[in-house]
Structure 1
Amino acid sequence: MMLIFWKARLALLAVPKTGTTALELALAPDADAAVLNPPGLKHCNVRKFRRDLSGFFEQNGRRPLELVATMREPVDWLGSWYRYRSRDALNGQPNSTAGITFDAFVEAYLSHSPPPFAKVGSQANFLEGGVDHLFAYGDQKGLLGFLGDRLGRTIETQPTNVSPRGSIALSASTLATFKVEYKADFELWDSLRKVSSR
């Protein structure tokens, strides 16, 4: 869900498969607004927020909000989608990855017309336009510390919505193609890692 914190002047955008469900459960009691549905608003990207929602939540610019989001390493991010869609509950469904290798999943993702199981978008597209505070997935200390400071309390999360285990090994050729086709995702991730390592 997307969470709005009025007093702290923050909007937490939910980049899919970046651990936001656990974070949202921990922070929902503090939020002044929580967008649960429809999915297009629950996972509202930067462009959509600024185009369709910022005027409402920011009172037409009189109370601007800082945008916060999390990003995951691109291969790991696709791996999470792949493993999540391999769960038994999706068996027989068009978006199931059961019986498909990760390499085949990524090849389908890279195709001009991805099948339903490989339609997962792009983190770079989601974040296009930029956010004020972008944290690397795995940097829970930095993210929770930042949010705790802004909200005035200690924040703890519990693992939730965890994907099944599975191999996410990629062939060298598929990985190379992925890095070329989704150059923006890898460049954004690399820039974030450089900032995080300072």
Structure 2
Amino acid sequence: MLLSFERRFLFVANTKTASTSIETVLRPHATIVRAETPRRKHVGLSVALEEYRGDFARAGVSPGGVLKFGVMRDPIDWITSWYRYRRGNAVESPLPADMDFAAFWTRADWNIKSPKGVPYLQRRLFCEGETTLADVIIPYPRLSETFARICKGLGIAVGDLPQENRSRLRETEGLSPELREEMRDFYAADYALWDRLDEINAPALARLEEGDYAPR
């Protein structure tokens, strides 16, 4: 998570959505950086807004005066990316080299469910209950163009977005139609958010174009 009072943004770092690459661009402008551990880096908006309430007050900035944004991935694309990353990269919690995706899904470990058995959803970063706290949730396929628009509106120079921390494996095999249907049901709450992203994003993107988030 990165928060800037001067450049007026709060970036929420979702997993497997180029957050490390985005942080490379935004970190020099951040007032507050949470990046020491994955648990601190990937904090949700509701937690960040509560934890830094005093910092907002001292800076004389309201949460409504900063662009609160992050990136979301199609849920099936997101979890298959996690699978490829853990099976192909040097990580702390690697998967067996011979584990296929169906076995990974059946195992349902921390990428899929919490220790209490609750689905691990992307929406937890951007929402509180049924309320969407983010102003813009960038759809991952439109990351480069939308992030460039955001940076322009925030007065931040950005070239090509660097590609960091990518999965070495490029393909996920063995997703049957039945498994895809099961996954869509499991991620129904995330798909409900995913399908509304254009509607959610439109007001804040218009404000960006009008200069409402430009540095003052």
Which TM-score tier does this pair reach, normalised by the shorter chain? 0.7 to 0.9
Select which of 60, 63, 70 maps to 2:61: 63
The equivalent of 1:39 in structure 2 is 38
**Alignment partner, residue 206 of structure 2:** none
| 1:162 equivalent in structure 2 | 166
TM-score, normalising length: structure 1: 0.82
Name the residue aligned to 2:154.
Answer: 150
- Contact in 1 for aligned 2:137/2:201 (Cα 8 Å): no
| Whole-Å separation in 2 of the counterparts to 1:8 and 1:98 | 44
* Letter of the structure 2 residue corresponding to residue 78 of structure 1: I
Q: Does 1:182 align with 2:181?
A: no
Aligned residues: CA RMSD: 2.6
Residues 101 and 172, structure 2, Cα contact 8 Å, conserved in 1: yes
Which amino acid is the alignment partner of residue 76 of structure 2? V
Alignment map for 1:1-198 (pairs within 5 Å): 2-53=1-52, 55-59=53-57, 62-64=60-62, 65-87=66-88, 89-90=90-91, 95-109=94-108, 114=109, 116=110, 118=112, 121-129=120-128, 130=132, 131-139=134-142, 140-169=144-173, 170-192=175-197
Is contact 2:139–2:197 with CA below 8 Å preserved after alignment?
yes
What are the ranges of 5 or more consecutive residues in structure 2 without an aligned counterpart? 115-119, 203-216
Do the aligned partners of residues 150 and 74 (structure 1) sit closer, same or farther apart at CA in structure 2, a change above 3 Å counting?
Answer: same
TM-score, length basis structure 2: 0.75
Within 1, Cα distance between the matches of 2:49 and 2:176? 38
After TM superposition, the structure 1 stretch with the greater mean CA deviation from structure 2, 68-77 or 141-150, is 141-150
CA distance in structure 2 between the partners assigned to 1:75 and 1:166 by the alignment:
15
Deviation at 1:13, TM superposition (A): 0.7
Letter paired with 1:136: P
* Deviation for aligned residue 1:181: 2.0
CA distance in 1, matches of 2:138, 2:200: 9
Letter in 2 for 1:4: L
Q: Contact (CA 8 Å) 2:89, 2:167: kept in 1 or not? A: no
SS in 2 for 1:28: helix
Q: Which residue of 1 aligns with 2:208?
A: none
Q: Aligned letter for 2:178?
A: S
Q: Sort the Cα spacing of 1:193 and 1:152 in 2 relative to 1 into closer, same or farther, 3 A.
A: closer
Which structure has more relative contact order (CA 8 Å, sep 6+)? It is 2
CA distance in 1 between counterparts of 2:82 and 2:2 reads: 22
